[in-house]
Structure 1
Amino acid sequence: MIGLDVAIVVLVAVALAATIRMLQGPSNADRAVAADLLMFSVLGLIALIGVRSGSIATFDLLLIASLVGFLSALSLARALTRGRR
């Protein structure tokens, strides 16, 4: 349980750093990378809290949220490159 608590604290610190970078990023690409990092750190937090509480329902939530996050990262990358391949 101590390992889970340490991992939760580390992920909270990463989420705070990503939020600061997302708000202060000098370019849109920096903000997009910070938003992806924030989304995946929140997913990690949800997973760790689900493991700690023993809830199976959180893993269904994680599956759907990770798919939505992946698709949003793709669409944001496409918007930043203005559709060029």
Structure 2
Amino acid sequence: MLSLELLQGAVLLTSALVVIALILNVWRMLRGPDITDRILALDTLYINSIALIILLGLYNGSALYFEGALLIAMLGFVSTAALCKYLLRGDIVE
């Protein structure tokens, strides 16, 4: 039982550190000096949210959270690519 309690404590500690990283990402997204820093902060924000959802799935012992993290990963990749294409060309669809 000690290993289960140790694992839950490690997941809680890691979750707290990921929440701090999320807060710093939001700060960079709101205060970034230019648009590329804000896009990078948004990209890192969704990656950290995926990590937080996976940690929540580990803590609760449910595989459903991993599917949600996969959906967020796909949507985050597509949205980042579309936003970068819009900034480079001014249009998403050619």
Is the aligned partner of 1:35 residue 2:60?
A: no
Between the aligned partners of 1:48 and 1:17, the Cα distance in structure 2 is: 19
| Contact 1:47 1:59 (8 Å CA) reproduced | yes
| Higher RCO (C-alpha 8 Å, min separation 6) | 1
Partner of 2:69: 62
Is the aligned partner of 1:21 residue 2:28?
A: yes
Per the TM alignment, residue 59 of structure 1 is displaced from its structure 2 partner at its CA by: 1.2
Between the aligned partners of 1:35 and 1:55, the Cα distance in structure 2 is: 27
User: What secondary structure sits across from 1:26 in the alignment?
Assistant: coil
Between the aligned partners of 1:82 and 1:8, the Cα distance in structure 2 is: 38
| Contact 1:29 1:80 (8 Å CA) reproduced | no
Q: Which portions of structure 1, spanning 4 or more consecutive aligned residues, are displaced by more than 2 angstroms?
A: none
Partner of 1:12: 19
Number of residue equivalences: 83
Say what the alpha-carbon RMSD is for the aligned residues.
1.1
Between the aligned partners of 1:68 and 1:2, the Cα distance in structure 2 is: 31
Give unmatched runs, 5+ long, in structure 2. Answer: 1-7
Q: Deviations over 1:8-37 (max 9, x none)?
A: 011001000000000011111111000111
The higher radius of gyration belongs to 2
Is the aligned partner of 1:73 residue 2:71?
A: no
Give unmatched runs, 5+ long, in structure 1. Answer: none
Between the aligned partners of 1:26 and 1:32, the Cα distance in structure 2 is: 11
Per the TM alignment, residue 7 of structure 1 is displaced from its structure 2 partner at its CA by: 0.9
User: What secondary structure sits across from 2:53 in the alignment?
Assistant: helix
